[in-house]
Amino acid sequence: MADGSINIDDFCHRLPKVELHAHLNTSYSMKFLRELARHNGIAEEDFVQDLCLKEAKPLDEGFALFVRLHQIFKTEEAIYRLTCSVIKEFAEDNVKYLELRSTPKMIPETGMTRDLYMQTMVRAVKDCEKEGLDITVRLLVSIDRRHGVEVARIAVDLADKLMQSTQGLVLGVDFSGDPKVGDATDFIPVFLDAAKRGLKLSLHLAEIPLYEETKNVLQACCRSCTMRIGHGTFLHRYDLGKGHEEMEDIVLQWKIPIEACVTSNILSKTVDCPGTHHFHYWHSKQHPVILCTDGKGAFGCSLTDEYSKVAKEFGFGKRDLLAYALSTVDSIFEGDQVKQRLRETMRVFGQKESINGL
């Protein structure tokens, strides 16, 4: 239960955390955008205006913002600087493990290729490692459902190649994009191929009420894929039609972790408020559900903010928060050695905070 003697915001900041759902292009900070504007000789306010969803807007308007961001982050230098900035800002928020995702882009006007895009992100991660930042970063190659199955296959080939050449710094694929475009069922062969190659899967599913495609993907992938569900907002919404029980049963039976993005869902109008967010539904079932930012710049939040919102809404105290943070480690895509190191970091933190027995 909540402990009135502590400052929840401060404790949530100091708490070691993992971030498993962060999109590169929307994880900028206003500080970084202003620095990029000055570097490119652009008026700062003209550059940064309307690049943050300050109020709730339909999902369609959010995707319009993402298109504008892609027009800004289109050079090798911009991608490198953005990646470094995002990593450092998460480290400052005491995120100890970050899985960062982005769609590799082909931009002829700047000479950007898909391979160069991802290699630039890899270079930024390695340079941050050399600086000794206290954060472990891994990358996911994103598949944008709007671009179709053939481009998805190219993304899997690239992810596979990079997984081998980076000794696992790239460890999986993300499936995302406008959920109103296309059918995720068409991508099932791509998902299964990725899994056969040893790639992990983070799949945006049930972000909006799409029962059939979500059920089809879960049924096809749950047995043979190491996977998590991005958002999963409508997995449990029986009020939207019959049959959702079957979908929920699959998630519970296979213990498929859910990446929960509270602020993002509220601002995108798929959830009303923290109190009605599906985080509580799944957490109350002791099912793995991991708080994430989605895009900390676009949605104006930090991972500390997400922890604080949930702590205040549901009465979490220090012990609850540390126990929860420890539980999120089980859902990372890295192996046992990294998981054990993260657990030890959290236990040491707990000892310093006089939270024993976890």
Residue 199 has pLDDT above 70, yes or no: yes
Q: Compute and round to an integer the Cα radius of gyration of the chain.
A: 19
As a whole number, mean pLDDT of residues 139-146 equals 97
- DSSP string covering 302-340: -HHHHHHHHHHHHT--HHHHHHHHHHHGGG-SS-HHHHH
What pLDDT sits at residue 215? 93
Residue 120 binned pLDDT confidence (cut-offs 50, 70, 90) = very high
pLDDT attached to residue 24: 96
Rounded to an integer, what distance in angstroms lies between the CA atom of residue 302 and that of residue 198?
31
Report the pLDDT averaged over residues 49-72.
Answer: 61
Q: If we measure between CA atoms, which residue out of 271, 227, 270 comes closest to residue 250?
A: 227
User: Does residue 57 surpass a pLDDT of 60?
Assistant: no
* 201: nearest Cα among 180, 178, 217: 217
| Token couple for 53 | 């969803």
Q: CA-CA distance, 317 to 314, in Å (whole number)?
A: 9
* Residue 356: per-residue pLDDT: 75
The SS3 of residue 6 is coil
Q: What is the pLDDT of residue 298?
A: 87
Task: Assess whether pLDDT exceeds 80 at residue 3.
Answer: no
pLDDT of residue 74: 84
pLDDT at 242 over 60: no
Average pLDDT, integer, range 283-292: 97
Query: Residue 1's pLDDT is what?
Result: 45
The whole-number pLDDT of residue 44 equals 59
Overall average pLDDT of the 42-57 stretch:
60
Residue-level pLDDT at 21: 98
Q: What percent of the chain has pLDDT over 70?
A: 87
- Beginning with the edge strand found earlier in the chain, give each strand of the sheet holding 227-231 in spatial order: 17-23, 95-102, 136-144, 170-176, 200-205, 227-231, 258-260, 289-291
Q: How far apart are CA 317 and CA 260, in angstroms?
A: 20
Domains of the chain by range and CATH? 8-352 (3.20.20.140)
CB neighbour list of residue 352: distance below 8 Å, 6 or more residues apart: none
Q: Which of 24-38, 119-133, 343-357 has the lowest mean pLDDT?
A: 24-38
For 62-101, the pLDDT digits (tens) are: 556 666 666 678 899 999 999 999 999 999 999 999 999 9
Note the pLDDT of residue 174: 98
Q: Given the structure tokens 């000789």, which residue do they identify?
A: 41
pLDDT at 38: 77
Distance, in Å, from the CA atom of 264 to the CA atom of 270, rounded to the nearest integer, reads 9
pLDDT band at 30 (very low <50, low <70, confident <90, very high): confident
What pLDDT, on a 0 to 100 scale, did the predictor assign at position 58? 59
Residue 115 has pLDDT above 90, yes or no: yes
Q: What do you get for the CA distance between the two ends of the chain, in Å?
A: 16
255-272: pLDDT as tens digits: 999 999 999 999 989 999
**pLDDT of res. 265:** 94
**pLDDT exceeds 70 at position 47:** no
**Alpha helices, H only, 73-139:** 76-92, 114-130
Share the mean pLDDT of the chain. 91
pLDDT at 236: 87
Is 15 within 8 Å of 325 (Cβ atoms)?
A: yes
Residues recognised as catalytic: 207
Place of tokens 């982005």: 102
pTM score over 0.85: yes
pLDDT value of position 239: 55
Rounded to the nearest 5 degrees, what angle is found at the Cα of 181, between the Cα atoms of 170 and 86? 35
**Position with higher pLDDT, 301 vs 59:** 301
Distances (CA, A) of 180 to 63, 235, 260: 11, 16, 20
pLDDT value at residue 12 = 98
At residue 313, the pLDDT reads 96
